[in-house]
Amino acid sequence: EAGVTQFPSHSVIEKGQTVTLRCDPISGHDNLYWYRRVMGKEIKFLLHFVKESKQDESGMPNNRFLAERTGGTYSTLKVQPAELEDSGVYFCASSRAALLAGAASTDTQYFGPGTRLTVL
């Protein structure tokens, strides 16, 4: 079974440019999550999809970030325009059942390798 894949693995752009990150979850996983880790900080939750619907986008930092999951398969995260503080590693994860769905949930969450974004 293929794991969660992310593309590109590394992106270097200039401030003001646009970048689109892609995540392909494990087949059959309805739940897809985006996280990011900026330099020197902890991993932070960005948003959660259930199929094509945004279940929780409370972690999105501002309206320069747009996430989509058309058709409930792969997801994209667009940053437009990129700022210096957006540099970091962006992780995608997927799970069959929703993490934090309840006390009985034992389904696990699988992370992709991350996309390292550098904004110059």
Region from 13-21, 71-79, 80-88, 100-108 binding other proteins, contact rule CB under 8 A: 100-108
Q: Is 72 in the site for other proteins (CB under 8 A)?
A: no
- Centre a 10 Å sphere on the Cβ of residue 14 and count the other Cβ atoms it contains: 11
Helix (H, G, I), strand (E, B) or coil at 35: strand
- In the complex, the smallest distance separating the C-beta of residue 99 from other proteins, rounded to whole angstroms, is 8
Structure tokens at 59: 């972690």
- Centre a 10 Å sphere on the Cβ of residue 67 and count the other Cβ atoms it contains: 20
Residues of this chain that interact with other proteins (CB under 8 A) are 4, 33, 42-45, 48, 55-56, 58-59, 91, 93, 100, 102-103, 105-106, 108-114
